[in-house]
Structure 1
Amino acid sequence: MPNSSGGLLGVWEAADWADTSQCPPSVGGATFLIVAYSAVIAVGLLGNAGLVFIIARQQELRNVTNILIANLSCSDILMCVVCLPVTVIYTLMDRWVLGEALCKVTPFVQCMSVTVSIFSLVLIALERHQLILHPTGWSPATGHSYLAVALTWLVACFISLPFLSFNILTNDPFQNISLPANPFRDHLICMELWPSDRHRLAYTTSLLIFQYCLPLLLVLLCYLRIFLRLRRRRDMLERSRRTRGAQRINAMLLAIVVAFALCWLPLNVFNTLFDWHHQALPDCQHDAVFSACHLTAMASTCINPVVYGFLNSNFQRELRITLQRCQCGTRPGESYESFPLSTVGSEGVTKAMSLNRMGSVCVPSPRTETSSSKLTKALPANV
């Protein structure tokens, strides 16, 4: 339920503004917000951009799971570029100075980005479920993943449309503040103006259910069934090379899901409490509480590159190879030894690449010369 910082102001009364006018901002708190949001933006942008660049650059990495992970990173990049800078400016200034267009676009982009992220996690879990529980059945191809990505963005855009319609720029809440000299009379805020509270509650509650609770429940169910299936496999050879590799990959993907769920939990709880009983929030601490919850949610943009990239030795090797190529130029005739992440490979590639069904790792062979008659050595696909 990703309300923007403007959504925080959507149901406030004039009396609320009179109370908060007696709460001066903290210099230390403002400094912490600037440093914390800047760190999240830097890690989120650089990490996700690097992840997308490597997946897009390396042909052997373009497979279903990696394409969906790149899609997850693209949604995080959009969040870092649009939502985080706007939120920190609005929170620190306590009024809107960025114009009506950003007032409408920022919550729309945030809702769309979160929707794309959670749908990508669901698709990754469903793909892993299909490959491990039904290894001889239908398997999605890379073309299917591109179609899924396009549909994900279209559905996310449709779900987020109400923010474009009901977010407005106004100074109405400041007009009725009973102060001898009202310093806020000309201040503008970005707030949600719904036809009624019933419409607003119906929409925000639906977001909570269909954008957070149900998708995460489905993902956890998929990984639970995967875990139970892998635990039942008793063949030692299979466990040593395929099952253990699949367990490691699934654990990494599940860690991304769990971290995403934990990051967004505080903000969802805050928004639910604010929507249904905002009087329960303390007058002078509501900004601090919201900022803490929102910052925790925005930290989810760093999950993908940290868990998938920096904790994945395969990705680290690929990153080092890419950096070496940038420094020294392209090295002719490199051969690769690949440890697959999935069993779905790219179409229209060489036989060696088709063996690399889910190549997350490409490690240069110590041999510098290659022969066209020899295939690149590839470890067997996981499951």
Structure 2
Amino acid sequence: AGTQTRLASVLPPPPKRSEGEQLSLLEGNEVPCSDSVGHGTFLIVAYSAVIAVGLIGNLCLVCVIVQQKEMRNVTNIFIANLSCSDILMSLVCMPITVIYTLMDRWILGEVLCKASPFVQCASVTVSILSLAWIALERHQLIINPTGWKPAASHAYLAVALTWAVACFISLPFLSFTVLTNEPFRNLSLPFNPFADHLACIEHWPSDEQRLTYTTFLLLFQYCLPLCLIMACYFRIFLRLQRRKDMVERAKEGSRATSHRRVSVMLACLVVAFAACWLPLTVFNALYDWDHEKIPVCYHNFIFSLCHLTAMASTCTNPIAYGFLNSNFQKEVKALLYRCSCSGHEKDKYESFPLSTVSTEISKASLRSGGGCPEEL
């Protein structure tokens, strides 16, 4: 049987000590690893900041897209879907990782033991597939502007299919994630101070099945989607660069600039996603093939840093798409304005075009810069 960690892991794998190391530790010949208060404080503060930014930012993004009917185009539907998966990771995966890492044992019960890696695997899959759908939609819009264009109904169908596929490929976590004291009872000693501790680990029938599934997830969740996305954006940038005809530029310059700006922004989301998940990917590979390179005493802390970097991807969506976008900031202010003025008569709104979306801004808010309009 084998245990494994991978992109979908929300839980640090048990450190691999040799029997000699464990014997020396338990017999008192070796100074045990001491938990650093500084490390724990850093993890709590860092995870709390990422959770707050990811949760609030993505909630604002989803609310704006849901509230504004004109914003429910294909790209924004996938953006909202990406935000939903990020919200799920912020609510479930990150808090559990902090608790498990700091406690160094599992205290949350069997249900959460199985559910946590399942949720993260599904969320990661939804995120990368949403980015792939966005890239394909942009590719069709720019490379073949007069051809077939997906409608919002097609986007909703793709979102449903994405979640179905993500849940399906995550099912092995429900079967092979177990709650056990195995990592703490590897030695037959008269006294084992860790015998009653539990760990939440993957326990596979064979190493071959484990490695097959691991390889599949690495390809399906990371390598293949990123190759497809990079190919799409590479063709998009080539097409935008080749528009050198001055007449065409004069006629479609504004549209080309809009396409270029939006494509750059979306490509940055992909680069940020790939960069955020790279450290955890490297850690997983190192753990599988050469675990002795990972210092035992800093094993959980290193995993947490890699996992924290991966979780930081939940913040890139609202930051890149939203808070660096002045139009989105206006939408959030208009949303807060409407909430604060819910007791007054409905405002009249005027539509303004965004890059690929339209938005509604309150005339009263634009005139007064805030404050509810007086009732007539």
Q: 286-295 or 101-110, which moves further after superposition?
A: 286-295
Question: Aligned to 1:305, which of 318, 335, 350?
Answer: 318
Kept in 2, the 8 Å contact 1:18–1:178? The answer is: no
Contact 2:40-2:102 within 8 A present in 1 as well? yes
Q: 2:12 touches 2:304 (CA, 8 Å); kept in 1? A: no
1:202, CA displacement in angstroms?
1.4
2:150 corresponds, among 115, 119, 140, to 140
Q: Give a deviation string over 1:242-300, Cα, whole Å, max 9, x none.
A: 00111111111111111011000000111111122223222112222111101000111
* Count of residue pairs the alignment pairs up: 353
Task: Specify every segment of 5 or more residues in structure 1 that has no aligned partner in the other structure, as ranges.
Answer: 343-357, 369-383
Contact in 2 for aligned 1:9/1:192 (Cα 8 Å): no
- C-alpha separation in 1, matches of 2:241 and 2:164: 38
Aligned to 1:74: 84
Question: Unaligned stretches of 5+ in structure 2?
Answer: 1-5, 27-31, 367-376
Following the alignment from structure 1 to structure 2, what is the Cα–Cα distance between the partners of residues 17 and 336?
Answer: 69
Partner of 1:127: 137
1:97 to 107, 120, 124: 107
- Of residues 352, 359, 362, the one that matches 2:360 is 362
What pairs up with 1:225-264 in 2 under 5 angstroms? 225-234=235-244, 235-238=248-251, 240-264=253-277
**Does residue 27 in structure 1 map to residue 37 in structure 2?**
yes
Could you tell me which amino acid in structure 2 is paired with residue 252 of structure 1? M
Measured against aligned partners, the alpha-carbon deviations of 1:296-341 in whole angstroms (never above 9, x if no partner) come to: 0011111111111101111111111111111223664624232243
The separation in 1 between residues aligned to 2:62 and 2:272, in whole angstroms, is: 20
1:4 Cα deviation from its structure 2 partner: 2.2
Distance, in Å, in 1 between the alignment partners of 2:239 and 2:52 is 39
Instruction: State which of 77, 87, 95 in structure 1 corresponds to 2:97.
Output: 87
| Contact 2:12/2:303 (<8 A) preserved | no
Percent identity (aligned): 60
Distance in 1 separating the partners of 2:215 and 2:143: 34
Partner of 1:9: 14
Q: Structure 1 135/65 Cα, relative in aligned 2: closer, same or farther at 3 Å? A: same
Aligned to 1:334: 348
Corresponding position: 1:184 with 2:194: yes
8 Å CA contact retained: 1:325, 1:331: no
Matched with 1:373 is: none
Residue in 1 that maps onto 2:3: none
Aligned to 1:355: none
Q: Structure 1 runs of 4+ off > 6 angstroms?
A: 10-13
User: For the structure 1 residues 53 and 271, does the alpha-carbon distance in structure 2 shift closer, same or farther, using more than 3 Å as the test?
Assistant: same
- The letter of the residue matching 1:243 is A
Change (3 A) 1:243 1:17: farther
**Aligned partner of residue 336 in structure 1, secondary structure:** strand
**CA–CA separation in structure 1 for the residues paired with 2:276 and 2:87:** 17
Structure 1 vs Structure 2 CA RMSD: 2.3
Cα distance in 1 between the residues matched to 2:317 and 2:42: 24
Amino acid across the alignment from 2:11: G
Letter matched to residue 150 of structure 2: P
Does the 8 Å CA contact 2:132/2:229 hold for their aligned counterparts?
A: yes
Cα distance, 1:20 vs structure 2: 7.8
1:36 aligns with one of 33, 43, 46: 46
Say whether residues 1:222 and 2:220 are aligned partners.
no
Residue aligned with 2:89, SS: helix
Checking the alignment, whether the CA contact within 8 Å between 2:12 and 2:101 is kept in structure 1 is no
**C-alpha deviation, 1:176, in angstroms:** 2.8
**Is 1:323 aligned with 2:333?**
no
Q: TM-score, normalised by structure 2?
A: 0.88
Against the structure 1 CA distance between its residues 308 and 165, is the aligned structure 2 distance closer, same or farther, given a 3 Å change threshold?
A: same
AA at the equivalent of 1:299: A
- Give the Cα separation in 1 of the matches to 2:149 and 2:219: 29
